[in-house]
Amino acid sequence: MTKETPWWKRTPVAAPDAQRAIRPSEDEDTDSEADEEDSDEDDIDDDDDGDDDDSDAPVSAQPGDLADGESTTMQGSGAQPYILRNVAGVYSCSCPAWRNQSAAIERRSCKHLRQLRGDAIETARVGTAAAPARAARTAGAAQVSATGTAPPILLAHPWDQVVDLSGWWMSEKLDGVRAYWDGTRFLSRLGNQFHAPDWFIADLPKDVILDGELWAGRKKFQRGVSIARRQDKSDDWRELTYVVFDAPAHDAAFEQRLEHVRQLMEASGSQHARWLPHERCTGLDHLRAELARVEELGGEGLMMRQPGSRYEVGRSWTLRKVKTFHDAEARVIAHVRGAGRHGGRLGSLQCELPNGKVFNVGTGLSDAERNNPPPVGTVVTFRYQELSNDGVPRFPSYVGVRDDVAWPPTDTPAPAPAPARARAAAPARAAQVTASPTTRRTFTRGDDVWSIELDGRTVKIRSETPGTEAEDTTRHSPNPAAAWRDADSLIAAKLRDGYVEIVA
């Protein structure tokens, strides 16, 4: 066995069908590197279990198998050897055949793993005698997983800030792992089983279908994912709570379903599960105040349920998510080397949206993730403020790896560009700007109103507070691109201060 070569010394590998898998030029990468300096508050907890950073994992000295946390290398047809790992019973290989499979990571195999562990052992582990071929990309496929059919779950639409949510049921949007309890086990959105310890599920209602999330706490999404996808039924599950918010098979309106859930969970006496309380939204001010409170605590946002609504399968307008920032999925197509304090390790992930748009994500990555980044081909979740008119995410921030969604997504439409009234993205070079339409945006916090208007090279600001005279300020920039960047900075500051945009 040979010693593993650090990833930054290996030849970069791009996704086979990626449109672009090269390191951007220095001009293109400037913004990504600058964003990394502000990533501390978004960094995911580094105190993880080896899923995030196994660069120091022991190399197996004995052929035939790998202990938990061990890795080894095997020479393939290329110049560089492939890396084989075992993390909590999940075996992986860096070869394209393993990376490009559509099955869940715990159900993948390849000829290198079979050569190492033996064909019979691998067949018993993954349940198939041959590594599955890459799935065809069919948009309406119901079978989205090699291990089973996706459970029939309800999904939300983003709030368009037009629908009046007064009277709707409001709850915190949990930043966890969606888990469908079928009465005996947990299933992911794709139908893959989560291997919860027996003591974790002992008190859950049997033969009752529940919908909820495996939650590790606020700002601990990646930690929760790394625990939920383990196959060794680890005691790390004590960090998780199953938070239940619906009973899909209970044929009744939402209010009756929620009451049914409350009674079930309180009767169970489970130490590892609870129901999620909801409250009536009294109006826009109540919604804004609760959103600000949840986000101040480190929460992701709010979920809004239409009163009297039934449980529907797929995306429904009766369920809305309200957040200051949006999130979406993208596929990693290349690793961009870092500079400055990130020299010698990952600087940013080059990602691709389902519609082919390519962008870099440099914010939100922990030190462990920069040392051992998600492999090329991995589907990740990122958070962003809005899309430019060209459909490129603005201010993207890494959230974590998604093992429970298919690629390309079949239940989520591609993000649409920002509406015409919104500002355009600042181009990389000011010389490309020929004209700029007048753009006005308005934000509120309580009774305070703050608006910003962009007109060519001029940025006009108006601040209004009850009981005082409105304050107008005009700022001038050398060119439209600089004015857009100035407006971006001012808007970002207001959002951090708790302001919420009003959309006409």
Residue 259, classified by CB atoms within 10 Å of its CB into exposed (0-12), middle (13-18) or buried (19+), is middle
The pair of three-digit structure tokens given for residue 169, joined into one six-digit string = 């049921």
Catalytic hit among 3, 173, 321, 460: 173
Q: How far apart are CA 38 and CA 365, in angstroms?
A: 11
**For residue 481, what are the contacts with CB-CB under 8 A and spacing of at least 6?**
426, 427, 429, 430, 432, 433
Q: How far apart are CA 179 and CA 176, in angstroms?
A: 9
Q: How far apart are CA 253 and CA 420, in angstroms?
A: 38
173 catalytic per annotation: yes
- Cα–Cα distances in angstroms (integers) from residue 235 to residues 195, 390, 446, in the given order: 12, 47, 45
Side-chain half-sphere exposure of 163, counting CA atoms within 13 A: 17
124, 107 Cβ separation under 8 angstroms? no
Largest Cα separation within the chain, whole Å, is 79
The pair of three-digit structure tokens given for residue 180, joined into one six-digit string = 């469908």
339-365 b/e with 16+ CB inside 10 Å = b? eeebeebbbbbbbbbbeebbbbbbbbb
Active site positions, annotated: 173
